[in-house]
Chains A and B, each alone.
Chain A
């Protein structure tokens, strides 16, 4: 018998999509039965009280979590999101309901052995509920009490060799697409870069020293499977400099209908026979492709590497061999002065372990933003306030047409004093000798 009646939430148990309500209920039941005979370190009925408070929110249309919450572990300034229920007497099981962020492995590959060991810790010391995963990438352990935080931290560091993720005004947990592990489009080893950068900047991740949060994301190619361009202040996106490799026999196999376009991604509908001209040549954004009926050619100099032709004919077209990445900066959500995607800063950078060229760009940006950024100002907003020119200057990038979608159309142009003959220090009496008042 459930502790609270949840008539509204019960309606979310039907339908085909996996029901979080059914899952929370199964966890509540499992804890009530306690087949392993655990001495649960937080209330056994924590998941039931979560359903209870959620049902109350479904009745009120309002959240029942108190504002904020500042908890953590010694040595770190972040990693745990404190949370307290605003009806602790009705729902004592979630009076404390803190979230622990754990740093996930690159590409989110796991073994069952590792996940089971994690579940064993969380079963005993937490609610038994998780998010797999948080939007930034962390393993999210959802709901525990303050006295358990150090115990959990001790267990994950000593027994799982795993650290907390980031929260607060610091480097947040980096994330990557699966990259070379299982994709033929990957232009660099995103997993290695994510792992390397996370380890290199552990101090910046665990102890907030920034004006505001800062995120890294690493995409292997411009398809953006981890959405670096939209969801990270520092977005590294793989690309290549030389020609797309063309297998003409495989192109013919696509034209003949032997290979399915886009690897079969549209097979749920009859789109007719594959039409190379209509589906590839005419959709190329820079009109860089020609097909003479026997041979496909790509004008390398006009190609903007959008991935469309490669995505459409993965067995015939391959990324080039001269590989690296572009660095774009400044993506953020709307608060405060509007959403931003990242803007191109370094068109091409080497992306080989130990990734020193990329680290140099990061550290130059941090040196500048940590000094100049205002309280709670994301890098993208600092760029808007102090200009892209300033960011290029601190990163040692010469201005390049690739840095803009279009040149400015207002004439409010700043010059550096040294660019102007004679400088800015002028004498009005000299001027008056030529121009009477």
Chain B
């Protein structure tokens, strides 16, 4: 491995440096039919799962084929996407806000060849490279995070559980039989990178044990006041401890006030928290971001803990599948999962889904918790 310079001169680091140029102009990348009709679209139709047509006021049409993607992908895979775009789409393509890929053609006659080509491509292990779907009232891609592939604070993996869930609900990626779209998101810790807090179904990695304290390193590696300020329940305080014959500044944690959010570890490397048997996931449901009919909603915790079960998380996938089936069987047309649960009442949601209601699900975080209790005699037996 011999070093190959790009032209950068480490002896004169600021020489020739280009900064603050931002992203490329999107106009450089628009397919001609898009550039021509931008801002002049008249209507659209979903021709079949994964296939859309947009009709412009000029009469021009653009056909879009949406395909699933693992988000974590290799340059080999991206090059294959490019090859398909070259073959069928004049070298153009785009990615969606849920990390699917969209191929566009300007003539219906090009559609069949594109679809057949996409559907024929498989990985060596047998999975589809480019499954067509993700439109309308179905289940599209899962917005997810880094997990054990890259992050230091996760309580679970991301890519693994997402693959396991998508395999379980795959038919609904390629179908539109739901009352409304079901958005699934996953975050591997309570930082909730992504969309877990506002999705129909959210999966979040959680810890269940307070952090360990690496006293020897605490005041070497951490700015202790930041760790103190990082705790939502004020369980963290500064203290002095003796190690051997040495007295050091360190941290004390009130275990009974700690709810294992892990934020102090984010701020202080001497407070590791992960634990193979303690960690796992929780399930939230009922969030949405659109303003359609009802206002945007947060998702609510309905399962407080499911263990990590590598590599396919069977307890998790089974529960998610079950919640989706009960929703699909009971909700009205256009009704998002959260709207349905609100309409029937959450006691009915737990009855219909058979999920166990445990004390963990009752909010106890500060003042706003009160507003989630029931100040009413209205309830269903």
A77-93 interface bits toward B, Cβ cutoff 8 Å, 1 = contact, 0 = none: 00001010000000000
Interface size on B, residues (CB 8 A): 145
CB-CB contacts below 8 Å: B61-95 with A: 62, 64, 68-79, 81-83, 85-86, 91-95
Residue of B7, B79, B166 near A158 (CB, 8 A) is B7
Quote the shortest CB–CB distance from B346 to chain A (angstroms).
18
CA distance A19 to B131 in the complex (A): 11
9-residue interface stretch from A111-119, A355-363, A396-404: A111-119
Given A22-B125, A61-B279, A184-B42, the answer on whether A132 and B176 have CB atoms closer than 8 Å is: no
Q: Across the interface, which residues of B come within 8 angstroms of A64, CB to CB?
A: 148
Given A17-B166, A40-B1, A62-B276, the answer on whether A199 and B176 have CB atoms closer than 8 Å is: no
Q: Across the interface, which residues of B come within 8 angstroms of A47, CB to CB?
A: 74
Residues A104 and B23 in contact, CB atoms below 8 Å apart: yes
Residue of B28, B99, B154, B276 near A60 (CB, 8 A) is B276
Q: Across the interface, which residues of A come within 8 angstroms of B230, CB to CB?
A: 336, 376
Residues B125 and A266 in contact, CB atoms below 8 Å apart: no
B1-35 interface bits toward A, Cβ cutoff 8 Å, 1 = contact, 0 = none: 11111111010011011111111111011110010
Residue of B21, B48, B85, B136 near A162 (CB, 8 A) is B21
CA distance A65 to B149 in the complex (A): 9
A37 within 8 A of B: no
9-residue interface stretch from B243-251, B288-296, B319-327, B353-361: B288-296
Residue of A11, A18, A104, A186 near B39 (CB, 8 A) is A186
Interface centre among B4, B23, B64, B127 (most CB of A within 10 A): B23
Residues B92 and A109 in contact, CB atoms below 8 Å apart: yes
Nearest 5 pairs of A and B residues by beta carbon: A13-B125, A265-B136, A61-B276, A15-B167, A112-B82
Given contacts A14-B167, A26-B77, 14 further A-B contacts (CB under 8 A): A14-B126, A19-B127, A23-B74, A41-B4, A75-B14, A76-B19, A109-B31, A158-B7, A181-B38, A229-B291, A230-B195, A262-B136, A265-B137, A333-B197
A-B contacts, 10 listed (Cβ < 8 Å): A21-B163, A47-B74, A65-B152, A67-B152, A105-B23, A111-B91, A180-B38, A222-B292, A283-B293, A307-B290
A interface residues with partner B (beta carbon < 8 Å)? 8-27, 30, 39-41, 43, 47, 50, 53-54, 57-68, 74-76, 81, 83, 97, 99, 103-116, 118-119, 122-125, 128-133, 135, 142-143, 147, 150-155, 157-158, 160-163, 175, 177-178, 180-184, 186, 189, 191, 195, 198-199, 202-203, 205-206, 222-227, 229-231, 260, 262-269, 271, 279, 283, 285, 304-308, 311-312, 314-315, 333-339, 341, 375-376
